[in-house]
Structure 1
Amino acid sequence: MDEIQKTLLEQVAGLHEMPAGAYNIRANGQSVERSTTAHIDIVTKEDKQGIDIIIKPGTKKESVHIPVVLSQSGLTEMVYNDFYVGDDCDVIIVAGCGIHNGGDSDSRHDGLHSFYIGKNSHVKYVEKHYGSGDGSGSRIMNPKTMVEVGENSFMEMETVQIKGVDSTKRFTGAKLADGARIVVTEKLMTHGSQVAETSFQVDLDGKGSSANIISRSVAKDDSRQVFYSKINGNNRCTGHSECDGIIMDRAHISAIPEITAANLDAELIHEAAIGKIAGEQITKLMTLGLTEAEAEAQIVNGFLK
């Protein structure tokens, strides 16, 4: 891998070197590094681009890294990754995509990640998106994530996009069985003329299932954001959706939450708030010696933590 690809890898997966545990690193449309363990196997699909990640029942305290980096301008790809997580597992999965575009043609990565999680398991999934390069070609990422959470299992999702992605459409869908839980935390920042659309749909099918969807976003310059969330309570369950946005300059943010109860014992809540940075916050920090720009940056960084 060249230096640009290594920098992208560090940004999206926090890797300075090859990680311990299982991993598959994809660069410019090809798998370049792979490692498996006694409990985690990674198999190349035969019918389309992508891999199957098979995590055996009882696997605990192990990790899987599957980052993608693109440094070739004009490259477009679609990748399908399926995760099969057995019963009684406790694992961390780190994904993410970094695109460096120094040319005039658009670079694009689309991916479909499907999770099939067994019973009594805990999966933490981290996905980061990052763009760099001074070319006029766009950096485009359209991730789709589908999750089936088995009985009494818990799925944590952290999605982060704070720099360099010109256009993104993210869709996350989840179906939860009895006693299953999902918590999704999104952190998003757009600037320039970037466009970001995020959609969540959760079907709380199981008795005692629960979902908590939290989005924190900042829109600067002329960028545009749209946030959709839909929670369907189809059994005795609890669901909560929250979207907080900071709007700056000439940006646009739309938050469109929806909750639907189809059971007498479904308890669903949605919240949405969009506003500018309060002037007194800026003033207070400036009295401590910060410039207005530094104060603004501090507030934004704290909001997205």
Structure 2
Amino acid sequence: MSKVDLSQFKFDGLDREQIEDLSTLDDNDKETLIMSGVDVEDANRSGSFLQMDHSNVHCQSNDPGLEIMDIKDAIEKYDGLPEYRWQLIDKDRDEYTRNTYENTHGGYFIRTKPGAKIEKPVQSCLFLKAEQVGQNVHNIVVVEENSELHILTGCSVAHGKTTGAHFGISEFYVKKGGKLTFTMVHNWGSNVSVRPRSAGVVEEGGILLNNYILMRPVKDLQMYPTITLKGRGARARFNSVVVAPEGSHLDMGNRVIMDAPDTRCEIIARTISTGGTIINRGHIGARHVPSRGHLECQGLILGEGRIWAIPELDGCKEGVELSHEASVGKIAQEEIEYLMARGLDEDEATSTIVRGFLNTDIMGLPAKLQQEVDKQIEELNASGAM
């Protein structure tokens, strides 16, 4: 994948005013945010965070067990956040991490109180509003002992805007007995370059559930989050649903290191190319026993396009249990014929199979977001991309 030329983007001078009430946004921005999982009415959310270009424009917690702050405010309040900031990701890893370290525009710091069960999701959005904006954000999430949290985060570009670059550093800390569900919806544009850099640690008895959805065009995306299960009984599960239309180049995947006994993980990826390129990576490493991991990479090519599945299993102890399933191909003709025999024409049969393949019910999405995801699938069908 080619490098992003940072000189082509604006990393200064695109500050925005505060927005006290998200419902005052214009209709186009509202629609874009809803498609990223953000409820502008804020009625069923425990908190909200909105980063627009170079500024945090909205930050609010609605739950006493939840702390949400702009990362710059958190750095100032907590003397630089030495326990968490740049502890899992090397600031000198590449030019994108260095650029974000030297010129952080914002990002969120989200932390639960120990034992807090945050019932409603927290929503956040990292939003590109201007043309040719370069956005550097650093996010830190801390789930304290025996607490639970669901974050819905959307990344998006404004209606009618096409050119931009997003660089997001994210560090996740799930403490003993904690549970984090992290759902990300990407709605970028056809000329947007995206370079997330993410890592996390899950301690004893902790759980991390990660959902990822991408159904809109993006110029190029490169991400490979790494989660380390550091405590006995820690668990992680990744679910991804990805569509790459013509012009999109995606180099993506997930990596889990099981660095304690009695750990479990599962990585499930469903990918469709309708003309774009997908490099789908998956890695599970097991260093202790007992440990159990499963990796599943399933890809469909509809028309032209390319999917490259790269599953990796790395066991270094007798007794580890690691497995994988990987396939890349087309819809089986017998499946189409089965549905046609029951009254569907060929296009209807194909659309039905694709909808089932992209099923997101397992993610437990809020009803409003699930409706938007279903709508995107129908739009892809109607456009003839599937």
* TM-score exceeds 0.5: yes
Q: Which moved more, 1:260-269 or 1:60-69?
A: 60-69
Q: Cα RMSD between the aligned structures?
A: 1.9
Deviations 1:213-262 (A, max 9, x none): 000011112x1111111111010111111100111212111111111112
Taking the TM superposition and a 5 Å limit, the aligned residue runs for 1:50-69 are 50-60=107-117, 61-69=119-127
Maintained 8 Å contact 1:73/1:102: no
**Partner of residue 32 from structure 1, selected from 40, 57, 63:** 57
Structure 1: runs of 5 or more not aligned: none
Name 1:7's counterpart in structure 2: 31
Q: C-alpha distance in 2, partners of 1:45/1:129?
A: 21
Q: Deviations over 1:92-121 (max 9, x none)?
A: 1111211236356x2122212111111111
In structure 2, what is the equivalent of residue 260 of structure 1?
Answer: 314
User: Counterpart of 1:145?
Assistant: 198
Partner residue in 2 for 1:94: 152
Contact 1:129 1:165 in 2 (8 A): no
2 CA distance for matches of 1:169 and 1:229?
A: 13
Alignment-derived partner of residue 121 in structure 1: 178
* Contact 2:177–2:204 (8 Å) recurs in 1: yes
The residue aligned with 1:182 is 236
Match of 1:159 among 212, 215, 218: 212
CA-to-partner distance for each residue in 1:138-184, whole Å, 9 max, x for gaps? 02323232110010011111000012223211211011021100010
1:168 aligned partner: 221
Tell me the distance in 1 between the aligned counterparts of 2:159 and 2:301: 27
Letter in 2 for 1:110: F
3-state SS of 1:206 partner: coil
| Superposed CA offset, 1:26-79 (max 9, x none) | 223322222123111122233732221121101102432112222322111121
Instruction: Pick from 208, 214, 222 the counterpart of residue 268 of structure 2.
Output: 214
2:56 and 2:345 map into 1 onto residues whose CA distance is: 46
Q: 2:38, 2:344 → 1: CA distance?
A: 30
The residue type equivalent to 2:138 in the other structure is Y
Instruction: Name 2:379's counterpart in structure 1.
Output: none
Q: Name the SS for the 1:189 alignment partner.
A: strand
TM-score w.r.t. the length of structure 1 is 0.91
- Indicate conservation of the 8 Å contact 1:101/1:107, yes or no: no
* Counterpart residue identity of residue 40, structure 1: L
Report the AA paired with residue 84 of structure 1. V
Higher mean C-alpha deviation, range 16-25 or range 204-213: 16-25
Instruction: Measure the CA separation in 2 of the matches of 1:69 and 1:293.
Output: 36
Structure 1 CA distance for aligned equivalents of residues 40 and 28 of structure 2: 13
Q: Which amino acid aligns with 2:32?
A: L
Segments of 5+ residues of structure 2 without an aligned counterpart are: 1-24, 76-103, 360-386
The answer (yes or no) to whether the contact 1:5–1:27 under 8 Å persists in 2 is no
Q: In the alignment, is residue 70 of structure 1 matched against residue 128 of structure 2?
A: yes
Name the CA shift for 1:224/1:295 in 2 (closer, same or farther; >3 Å): same
Distance 2:33 2:305 in 1: 30
Alignment coverage as a number of residue pairs:
299
Identity %: 25
92-101 or 226-235, which deviates more: 92-101
> Would you tell me which structure has more strand in proportion to its own residues?
1
The one of 42, 47, 53 equivalent to 1:18 is: 42
Give the whole-Å Cα distance in 2 for the aligned partners of 1:62 and 1:56.
Answer: 15
Residue 296 (structure 1) shift: 2.1
In 2, Cα distance between the equivalents of 1:188 and 1:96?
15
Shift of 1:302: 1.1
* Residue 293 to residue 128, structure 1, CA distance change in 2 (3 Å): same
5 Å-filtered alignment, 1:279-298, equals: 279-288=333-342, 290-298=344-352
Question: Which residue number in structure 2 is paired with residue 45 of structure 1?
Answer: 71
Matched, 1:224 2:277: yes
How far 1:288 moved relative to its partner? 4.9
Contact 1:125 1:157 in 2 (8 A): yes
Code of the aligned partner of 2:304:
R
* 1:52–1:83 CA contact under 8 A, matched in 2: yes
Whole-Å Cα distance in 2 between the matches of residues 193 and 109 of structure 1?
Answer: 18
**2:175 partner letter:** G
